[in-house]
């Protein structure tokens, strides 16, 4: 039996509707415009901007990246053009595309997040905010916001009050129990969760005896971390009632399906954009084809459909 009608690819993330579950991940897709020569942004479920803050951030000194086995480390240091410049220089071009533009925001203290949320709330063309809570909190001695459930709760709650945009809270994997943080974010009013951000790692150049990154440590991403990401998505999906967007090392259709089966309603593609720059577009086609071949009428039927004895 061959399905006559096209399978349904669209998904709903508790207030954020996407035409398909394929989203380009923050920091790996620039401000979107960098990828315009490679494909039509309107085909994608969505895209997340590079992490933005209320000021122009220079970021860390180079070298900022280095390759590791099946992965890479980065310590960009959240360089960005600032929310104002984004709104005036990038957004007008971006909104010409029919895709969900998700703005990733961050700060050094809760007040930075609040200001960012307030500023973006009124802006036309933004589909949702992704709140990156994997940054060091200068008020708490550099401890990452997202490693403490109560700090997470407070941060999300404050941001929640400032905006009616859907909030996707992006969790860090560098914690003992990610489900605790996930529940705090849920309780504080997050619409959805995205996980995972990078694992903290390090590399040393033996010939110079120096760290390979000027910043010494950096974030590990790419296929190497996929098993950790998949486990965290699986665990978290069992502990929260809001939708989950899975990411971490996704580089093929099979990977996309693994994350859906584990409980993600959508996925983000990060590092794979670097070594396979047209992957996001291809995944949309491949997913549709897969659903057709498997006679699945709606992609939502895959979400959480892992089989356990």
Ligand X SMILES: Cc1cc2nc3c(=O)[nH]c(=O)nc-3n(C[C@H](O)[C@H](O)[C@H](O)COP(=O)(O)O)c2cc1C
Per-residue binding letters, 51-90, with other proteins (x by CB under 8 A): -------xx-xxxxxxx-xxxx-x-x--x-----------
The smaller minimum CB distance to other proteins, of residues 14 and 274, is found at 274
74: β partners: 65, 219
135 catalytic? Reply is yes
Catalytic residue among 53, 66, 135, 280: 135
Integer CA distances (angstroms), 282 to 91, 248, 273, 286, in order: 25, 18, 11, 6
Least distance between ligand X and beta carbon 264 (Å): 13
CB 192 within 8 A of CB 166: yes
Residue among 139, 275, 289, 305 that touches other proteins (CB under 8 A) = 275
Q: Which does 142 bind (CB under 5 to 8 A by kind): a second copy, other proteins, ligand X, none?
A: none
The burial class, CB within 10 Å (0-12 / 13-18 / 19+), for 176 is exposed
Tokens of 7: 């399978």
At residue 259, the 3 state secondary structure works out as: helix
Kindly tell me which of 248 and 263 has the beta carbon lying closer to ligand X. 248
For residue 63, say if its preceding peptide bond is cis, omega within 30 degrees of 0.
Answer: yes
Binding at 250: pick from ligand X, a second copy, other proteins, none (beta carbon under 5-8 Å per type)? ligand X
Which listed option, other proteins, a second copy, ligand X, none, makes contact with residue 231 (CB within 5 to 8 Å by class)?
Answer: a second copy
Residues of this chain that interact with ligand X (CB under 6 A) are 25-28, 50-51, 74, 76, 78, 104, 132, 170, 197-198, 221-222, 225, 247-250, 270-272
Length of the chain: 309
> Which is closer to ligand X, CB of 148 or CB of 255?
255
d(CA 261, CA 69): 26
How far apart are CB 138 and a second copy at their closest, in Å?
18
Query: In the beta sheet, which residues pair with residue 22?
Result: 267
Find which of a second copy, ligand X, other proteins, none residue 137 binds, CB within 5 to 8 Å per kind.
none
Q: What is residue 103's three-state secondary structure? A: strand
Residue carrying structure tokens 């089966």: 261
CB of 57 to other proteins, least distance (A): 10
Structure-token pair, residue 51: 């992490």
Burial, 241: exposed, middle or buried (Cβ in 10 Å; 0-12, 13-18, 19+)?
exposed
CB closer to a second copy, 4 vs 309 = 309
Residues classed as catalytic = 135
């Amino acid at each position: 039996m061959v399905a006559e009608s096209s399978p349904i690819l669209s998904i709903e993330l508790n207030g954020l509707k996407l035409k398909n579950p394929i989203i380009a991940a923050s920091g790996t897709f620039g401000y979107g415009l960098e990828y315009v020569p490679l494909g039509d942004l309107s085909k994608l479920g969505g895209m997340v901007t590079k992490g933005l803050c209320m000021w122009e951030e220079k970021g860390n000194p180079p070298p900022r990246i280095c390759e590791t086995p099946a992965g890479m480390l980065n310590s960009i240091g959240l360089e960005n053009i600032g929310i104002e410049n984004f709104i005036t220089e990038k957004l007008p071009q971006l909104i010409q595309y029919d895709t969900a533009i998700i703005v990733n925001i961050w700060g050094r203290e809760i007040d930075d997040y609040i200001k960012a949320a307030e500023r973006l709330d009124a802006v036309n063309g933004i589909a949702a905010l992704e709140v990156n809570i994997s940054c060091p909190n200068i008020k708490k001695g550099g401890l990452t916001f997202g490693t403490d459930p109560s700090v997470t709760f407070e941060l999300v709650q404050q941001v929640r009050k400032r905006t009616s945009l859907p909030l996707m809270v992006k969790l860090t994997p560098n914690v003992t129990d990610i489900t605790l943080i996930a529940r705090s974010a849920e309780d504080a009013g997050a619409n959805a969760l995205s996980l995972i951000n990078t694992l903290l790692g390090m590399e040393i150049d033996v010939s110079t005896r120096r760290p390979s990154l000027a910043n010494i440590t950096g974030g590990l991403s790419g296929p190497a971390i996929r098993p950790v990401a998949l486990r965290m998505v699986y665990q978290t999906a069992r502990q929260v009632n809001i939708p989950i967007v899975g990411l971490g090392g996704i580089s093929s259709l099979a990977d996309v399906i693994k994350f859906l089966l584990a409980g993600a309603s959508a996925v983000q593609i990060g590092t794979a954009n670097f070594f396979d720059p047209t992957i996001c577009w291809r995944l949309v086609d491949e997913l549709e084809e897969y659903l057709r071949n498997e006679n699945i009428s709606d992609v939502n039927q895959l979400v959480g459909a892992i089989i356990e004895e």
